[in-house]
Amino acid sequence: MPTRYPIPAGEHEIEIVIRRSRFISNAAYTPTVASARAFIAEIGHRYPDASHHVYAFAVGFGASVTHGMSDDGEPSGTAGKPTLAVVRGSGLGDVTVVTTRYFGGTKLGTGGLVKAYTEAAQLVLAEIPRTEKVEKREVSITVPYHFYEPVRRLAAQFEGDITGETFAADVQLTLVFPVSAVKEFAAALSELTGGQIQLNADGSEY
């Protein structure tokens, strides 16, 4: 799985009306299958009297992704499948779309349903705010006092956040870096300190 990929920055809702049927589409960030199913259930509770709650989700990104979908009573292939196609084409990971339908009394036909669910999903994903998910790793280093400030500055250059400091004979630092920056930081740290400081990440030295 990529160490960085786009995800929803929050939840968003849109509504369209097609031949008196209301289509209310909600999308949200769901980093696990459990959170996707919880969001689907939440929308069901929010609109308990609706005719259908069609959904599709993508958990993960790229080659490592889990998909799910449901027509929720609509004719097979007219709702969940087109919604999933929009989710796949959105460029987002860790996202769930639930489109709720209130039947308006006029049948839309299979083509009409595909068009309606596709449009609803496209609209909600076009408008949802986006951010970037960055996989991170915690590392620890023991720093002599004369290297303390230079190492702090170096960590900042590689997007490192200091999450813990223990001051004793030396300074024990705990830092969190984007995974993609760990090896580069380790190389720069070795150069800065002449190889005196070893970086430990998840029990492995880099």
pLDDT band at 205 (very low <50, low <70, confident <90, very high): very low
Give the global pTM.
Answer: 0.70
User: Is there a single domain that holds both residue 84 and residue 172?
Assistant: no
Higher pLDDT, 198 or 11: 11
Q: Which domain holds residue 182?
A: 135-205
**pLDDT (0 to 100) of residue 202:** 54
Query: How far apart are the C-alpha atoms of 181 and 171, rounded to whole Å?
Result: 22
**pLDDT (0 to 100) of residue 3:** 66
**pLDDT (0 to 100) of residue 2:** 58
User: Is there a single domain that holds both residue 127 and residue 180?
Assistant: no
User: Is there a single domain that holds both residue 139 and residue 128?
Assistant: no
User: Is there a single domain that holds both residue 105 and residue 199?
Assistant: no
Place of tokens 């990971």: 93
User: Is there a single domain that holds both residue 57 and residue 110?
Assistant: yes
Final residue before a domain boundary, out of 132, 149, 169? 132
pLDDT digits (tens, 9 = 90+) for 156-204: 998 888 999 999 999 999 998 888 788 889 889 988 888 888 776 554 4
Final residue before a domain boundary, out of 132, 161, 182? 132
Residues counted in the chain: 206
pLDDT digits (tens, 9 = 90+) for 145-158: 999 999 999 999 98
User: Is there a single domain that holds both residue 16 and residue 80?
Assistant: yes
Residue 19: give its domain's CATH number. Answer: 3.30.230.30
Confirm if 68 and 33 have CB atoms less than 8 A apart.
yes
Residue 173: give its domain's CATH number. Answer: 3.30.70.240
Total number of domains constituting the chain: 2
User: Is there a single domain that holds both residue 74 and residue 121?
Assistant: yes
User: Is there a single domain that holds both residue 43 and residue 81?
Assistant: yes
> For residue 127, how many C-alpha atoms fall within 13 Å in the half-sphere facing its CB?
15
Instruction: Judge whether residue 135 has pLDDT over 60.
Output: yes
Cα-based torsion angle of the residue sequence 141, 147, 148, 154 in order, rounded to the nearest 10 degrees:
-80
User: Is there a single domain that holds both residue 142 and residue 119?
Assistant: no
Confirm if 137 and 74 have CB atoms less than 8 A apart.
no
Final residue before a domain boundary, out of 106, 132, 158? 132
